[in-house]
Amino acid sequence: MEDKLKALADEARQAIQQAADEEQLEQVRVKHLGRRGELRQIMQGLAELPAEQRPVVGQLANRVSQELDRLFAQRQQELEAAAAQAAQAAQALDVTLPGRAPRVGRPHPLMATLDEMIEIFLGLGFTVAEGPEVENYYYSFEALNYPEFHPAMDEQMTFYVGEDALLRSQTSPVQIRVMEQQEPPVRIVAPGRCFRRDTVDATHCHTFYQLEGLLVDEGVTFADLKGTLEVFAHEMFGPHCHMRFRPDFFPFTEPSAEIALTCIICGGQGCRVCSNTGWLEVGGSGMVDPNVLAMVGYDTERYTGWAFGVGVERLAMLRYGIDDIRLFYSGDMRFLEQF
Ligand code: DAH
């Protein structure tokens, strides 16, 4: 009986030490120490032993039982600690791993150009106004002094989306919306998206941006317009960039002028981009037609004003030396990541 006990104790000790995780340890406990375990069976057999052997074997059995309980508890603690450590290690931050760089966004080259244009006018005391991209006939044409059958209204030129709803083909309607809301002095720029039924090519797109400008006050002259745009050209492209006016026509301005800037590519010497003229057209401008001022209820004897509209894509292409307008809308990361 004693030998059996000792053998059992050896086996149990070993099993406890070898248990690799808490689950295995539990199996050991059931087999060796549990209520149906081998040790219990031996202890239950004590009664059948001769009386003089009982105390000796009984004591030994108790000692073994206590020892195994202790070993068991100890091993259990070790395994728990190891498991906790493993769980922590699994969560641990390895500071030597190379980081995963977040993809940082940046302004689109078109928006960066537009922002810079706006910034220049903010510096000159203008504020920013906005109008809807879906406009009606009145703001798009009628209030801007267009005659009733002007070709710009034609479905060949303008996208109609409803009975009296169209995608604005210019930002000029914002002039009317602003003037309806306030009395002079007015000094605003209006950035925005415009739409035309143009065939897409390297310099045209159905969707494009303009920056509109409007100034109305007492004693405003054509010279103020020219001076302001000249300052803009200098600020945007440097002191060697000049501005040129040539006669043009727009229904809402009289007189009207086409705006051209010194070709930034060749510095005015003449190159392929400027068709050897040294100048690049960037928009239109003029003195606001008194009919337009009258339409919004301004006193045309007291107030005069000027306005302009500049193509943002054109300026962005010059600024960055981009030769195809379609790149702006391509969403191509290889293009965008260069800015
Ligand atoms: N809206 C004109 C266009 O898209 C540009 C323009 C010309 C705007 C003269 C103006 C202006 O404000 O006065 O072609």
- For ligand 1, the distance from its centroid to the CA atom of residue 152, given in whole angstroms, is 12
Q: Whose CA is nearest to atom 3 of ligand 1?
A: 170
| Domain extents in the chain | 2-91, 109-336
Residue 159: HSE in the Cβ half-sphere, 13 Å Cα cutoff: 16
Tens digit of each residue's pLDDT (9 = 90 or more) over 16-39: 888 888 888 888 888 888 878 877
- For ligand 1, the distance from its centroid to the CA atom of residue 160, given in whole angstroms, is 20
What pLDDT sits at residue 145? Answer: 96
Q: Which residues contact 291 (CB under 8 A, 6 or more apart)?
A: 145
Quick check: 233 and 121 in contact, CB under 8 A?
A: no
Residue 170 Cβ inside 6 Å of ligand 1? The answer reads yes
Name the pLDDT band for 47 (thresholds 50, 70, 90).
Answer: confident
Q: In the predicted model, is pLDDT for residue 1 greater than 80?
A: no
Name the pLDDT band for 141 (thresholds 50, 70, 90).
Answer: very high
DSSP 183-203: PSPEEEEEEEEEE--PPPBTT
Residue of 170, 175, 187 with the most ligand 1 atoms within 8 Å of its CB, for mutation: 170
CATH superfamily of domain region 109-336: Bira Bifunctional Protein; Domain 2 (3.30.930.10)
Query: Looking at this protein, which amino acid is placed at residue 7?
Result: A
Tens digit of each residue's pLDDT (9 = 90 or more) over 237-254: 999 999 999 999 999 999
Q: Which residues contact 225 (CB under 8 A, 6 or more apart)?
A: 215, 285, 286, 287, 306, 308
Q: Whose CA is nearest to atom 7 of ligand 1?
A: 284
